[in-house]
Amino acid sequence: MEDQELIQQLQQGNAEAFDQAYKKYAPSMLTIAYTFMRDRDDAADVVQDCFATLLNKPQLWKSIRDIRWYLMRMVQNQCLGVIRKRDMQQQKDEVFQYYNKSAAEDVSLPESYNNNATPQEKENKVVSWLSALSPQRKRAMELVYQQELSYQEAALKMGISKQSIKTHLRYAKQILKSKLTSILIAAVFVTMW
């Protein structure tokens, strides 16, 4: 079946045409996805996601003029989206781990100070630091770092803009960092005297 005829059949909701499109273009899409993802299973997931989107949104077929170009571009965009999401998640995990480790374990404190604080006292300190944040900053931290929502998802949940989420997180990190710094300074003075 020629591409134009295939597109017409897809626009009419023909399931057999959908199967033919999958058989015809999935191998090429898989090759493109693999070049981005560098993992066969991830590449296959991306291709399946593309076809699932087209299956669940049949209105998309109405805008397609060149099916090959559209599918190849779709798989490329899907791969870039997955990679971006992974990078964002990795960055969030690193930031969360840094603040979690710094606040909960007081890793930079002198040994004499660390021996005096129990794990429960350290945990209480972190909880008190978080409670010192404004409700919106605390909520932003919870949504992004604990519930692992994207900035956009957190913004929608809080009813504010994505930029506002970023601002709340930046100020919350500054507050937590200043509290940690003040404890470090106090610990240095304790060990000096």
**pTM attached to this predicted model:** 0.47
CATH 1.10.1740.10 in the chain is located at 3-83
- Residue 181, C-beta contacts closer than 8 angstroms, at least 6 positions apart: none
* Domain 106-192 -> CATH class: mainly alpha
What token pair was written down for 28? Answer: 């090429």
User: In the structure encoding, which two tokens stand for residue 128, read together?
Assistant: 């008190």
- Per-residue pLDDT at 89: 77
Give pLDDT tens digits for 118-167. 767 766 776 677 777 888 888 888 888 888 888 889 889 989 888 888 88
Answer with the residue of higher pLDDT: 47 or 93. 47
For residue 65, give both structure tokens.
């003029």
What residue spans in the chain does CATH classification 1.10.10.10 cover?
106-192
CATH architecture group of domain 3-83: Orthogonal Bundle (1.10)
